[in-house]
Amino acid sequence: MWRLHLWAGYCSSLTRDAALERGWVVNESEGFVMKKVLIVDDSITVARQLQRIIEGSGDFQVVGHAKNGAEGIKLNQSEDPDIICMDMNMPVMDGLTALRSISVIDPKVTVVMVTSLGGVGDKFTEAMKLGARNVISKPFEEETVLEILRSL
């Protein structure tokens, strides 16, 4: 009996480790589930590229696409994502302004900036101060995007 018990424990810990390694999260009712990602970017091309990479990984689900910061704030409230991929430059409301609001309204959501500025400059420094966790530089490679998302 103890052997069976040990074996069951071994299997469940393997599954748990594998799930955690892939960046899944524990949901009380459903067990391990994929993290939900919201894309906020005014470029349809960039948003589609990101969506293809993120969903193609099989480890994340995209729950929405907002075309500016204001839409991003609304979708963050309705879709409750774990991660937001936030463009910096957008019409109506830019990424920094949206980040500033979201960091107050919903401090538990993880925000990653998506920008051609790379990890330098005043805007990048400001984003980090406001709680952005990382930056995806444009143009991006599939591997880099997934590496960053899995590290969150």
- Return the number of the residue (31 or 121) whose C-beta is nearest Mg ion: 121
Q: Where are the alpha helices (DSSP H) in 22-136?
A: 44-56, 69-79, 95-105, 122-129
Judged by CB under 5 A, the stretch of 47-55, 56-64, 81-89, 139-147 that binds Mg ion is: 81-89
- Return the number of the residue (34 or 39) whose C-beta is nearest Mg ion: 39
Binding residue (CB under 5 A) for Mg ion from 50, 87, 115, 146: 87
Determine contact, residues 90/104, Cβ cutoff 8 Å: no
The shares of helix, strand and coil residues in the chain, as percent rounded to the nearest 5, are 45, 20, 30
Rounded-to-integer distance, Cα 84 and Cα 96, Å: 13
- Return the number of the residue (42 or 82) whose C-beta is nearest Mg ion: 42
Binding residue (CB under 5 A) for Mg ion from 42, 71, 82, 94: 42
> Which positions lie near Mg ion, rule CB under 5 A?
42, 87, 89-90
